[in-house]
Homo-oligomer: A and B are copies of this chain.
Amino acid sequence: MTTPTVGVLYSGGKDSTLAALLLDRFYDVTLVTTHFGITDAWQHAQSAAAELPGSFQAIELDRSIAETAVEIMTDDGYPRNGIQHAHDEALEALADRDFDAIADGTRRDDRAPTVSRAAAQSIEDRYNVDYIAPLSGFGRSAVDDLVSQTLEVTVGPSEDIPRADYEAELRAIIRDEWSDVAITDIFPAHDQTVVTGLK
């Protein structure tokens, strides 16, 4: 039987890396990074992907998705719903590619992005693809154990860590187009992790 293919939505962070490692025993894995053509942050994901099994693809999404995400965030004053919008659109774009399954790094205890069972089944039905959330049955402490067993990582303030999640490009839009909005009002200071290799 042919090995099925999975496209894993990939940021270079620990969660999407673990999602890929959980699947690569069963699937032909492609690490897929989406971006909005605003910065070259997606290349950080490509560098991290080079240390992992599987191939790499970048998908450029329409910049209007990022603009809408930023509008949602600046209206709300917090990032959750804007991040969710960007993630939903990225998953739709990934589902529209020719993979047998798509996956992401969402975890049990995440607040955003989340993919409900109903949203998962909707994607599966509309695109005739399996949606998999390999980390959705793992809590924070279990994820920490997976990381320490398998990954070399660098941790630091999110503005300094070379990742390719939505945050870097959304920050760039806010910086360029919303000069009256302080980025730290929307993205409170927090640490991020980037994967630098496998143990």
Contacts and interface: CB of A to CB of B under 8 A. Distances in A.
A120 interface: yes
Interface string A115-138: 001001100100000111111111
Interface residues of A, number: 34
Contact of A136 (B101, B124, B137, B146): B137
Contact of A26 (B26, B108, B124, B145): B145
Contacts of A124: 139, 141
Nearest to A19: B137
Given A120-B108, A132-B137, A145 B101 contact: yes
A131 to B, nearest CB: 7
A100 interface: yes
11 contacts: A22-B25, A26-B146, A100-B145, A101-B142, A108-B117, A124-B139, A130-B138, A130-B145, A132-B137, A132-B138, A136-B136
